[in-house]
Amino acid sequence: MTNKPNEPSEPQQAEADASEPAAAPSKPAAPKAKPAPPPAVKPPSKPTAAKAPEADSAALTTLREQRDALQRELTEARALLMSERTAKAAAERARAALNTQLATANNKFDAAVKSQGQLRAQVDRATSELSSVQRELKDCRSDLASARAELERLESDRSSARDDLAAARSAHTETQQELEALRRGSADTTKALEQAKKAVAAAEDIAEEAQDRVTKLEAEKTALAAQAGSLRAQLDAVRPELDGAQDRVKSLKKRVADEERAHSQTRAELWRCREDLEAAKAELERARGGAKRSLKAALGVAAGVGAFLVFRRR
């Protein structure tokens, strides 16, 4: 049997069909349904001299059809492989973008954590300052209460000294009256007069001592009043600082709450990026597995046809 001029011989065609799967790249193509294996062809028995050309022509036609089907399968496999490469490139780009977003989200997360730590440190310092101011205010109030108690004691001492001065003046008046009565009396009362003079001098000394005590008490009262005014001024000076510290604490607490909300939003965005990355990885794995199965099926069909052609030529 002779071959046509434009068609390759059966061994050459078989070698070409067998070499085509080897030229395909090692990476798998996109998934495709496994083609049905070629129908088994029984080895032809020795034909008679009259029917041999017709049987060879029918077998050659069948093999050519199978070859064309195999070529179509290989073309589809190559197209699926190219689409799988395109999908892989897109997945790589998506993975790079997701990694970039993940790195950005991680940086935002670290910056938020650092800012939150700084705000907490500021809150702690403000709280410590507030506690110190409150302790100073408590000490000022205690000193003011002590000064008030001392002032009340001095007021009581001054009242007592005034009572003593009034008693001394009353005694002095009585002594003067007695002295005048003694003067109007006889000369025998000279000794009593001397005693009365001594009593008057003693009463004057008592009156002077009482006056000195009253003067000292007045000076102490003035000093305590000045000290109380100074304590009130200190209290008035500390009160704005206390109010300012309380306002700073409220502002810092509000900033901490805002940072915590931003921190929660950054964490949610980070989880969304991770979920997108996992979905892209799963899609890439599914495409890779389907391409492997399709390429294996095409290689199996090509190997079967090549083996049959070699056997047929023998």
Which of 106, 104, 103, 102 minimizes the C-alpha distance to 275? 102
Amino acid, res. 113: V
Sign of CA dihedral 260, 266, 270, 271: positive
Please tell me whether residue 71 adopts helix, strand or coil conformation. Answer: helix
Q: Is the pLDDT of residue 94 over 80?
A: yes
What is the per-residue pLDDT for 188? 59
Tell me the longest C-alpha to C-alpha distance in the chain: 201
Residue 93 has pLDDT above 80, yes or no: yes
In this structure, the chain runs to a length of 314
Tokens of 94: 């998506």
d(CA 190, CA 66): 170
Mean pLDDT of 242-247: 78
**Does the residue 1 lie in any domain?**
no
Q: Give the chain's mean pLDDT.
A: 72
Domain count, the chain: 1
Q: What sign results for the dihedral spanned by CA atoms 206, 209, 215, 219?
A: negative
Asked if residue 3 belongs to a domain, the reply is no
Instruction: Tell me which residue of 259, 262, 257, 256 sits closest to 124, measured CA to CA.
Output: 256
Q: Averaged over 257-280, what is the pLDDT?
A: 78
Model confidence pLDDT, tens digit, residues 191-208: 756 776 676 677 677 777
pLDDT for the residue numbered 52: 54
Range of the domain at 241: 10-313
Stretch 216-221: mean pLDDT, rounded? 80
- The confidence score (pLDDT) of residue 101 equals 84
Q: Half-sphere exposure of residue 117, counting CA atoms within 13 Å on the CB side?
A: 5
In a domain, 4, yes or no: no
pLDDT at 162: 79
User: Does residue 249 fall inside a structural domain?
Assistant: yes
36: DSSP letter: P
Higher pLDDT, 10 or 178: 178
52: tokens are: 């041999």
d(CA 22, CA 16): 10
Tell whether 176 is covered by a domain.
yes
Mean pLDDT of 236-240: 78
Token pair, residue 84, equals 């799988």
Q: Is residue 126 part of a domain?
A: yes
Contact 65, 305 (CB under 8 A): no
Does residue 18 surpass a pLDDT of 80?
no
pLDDT at 292: 67
pTM over 0.85: no
Residue 2 placed within a domain: no
Residue 284 lies in a domain: yes
Short-list 115, 102, 104, CA closest to 262 = 115
Between 277 and 74, the more confident residue is 74
Determine the average pLDDT of the residues in 72-89.
87
pLDDT digits (tens, 9 = 90+) for 30-79: 444 444 444 444 444 444 444 556 777 888 888 889 889 898 988 988 88
Long-range contacts of 187-196 (CB under 8 A, 24+ apart): none
Amino acid at 195: Q
Sign of the alpha-carbon torsion through 32, 34, 36, 37: positive
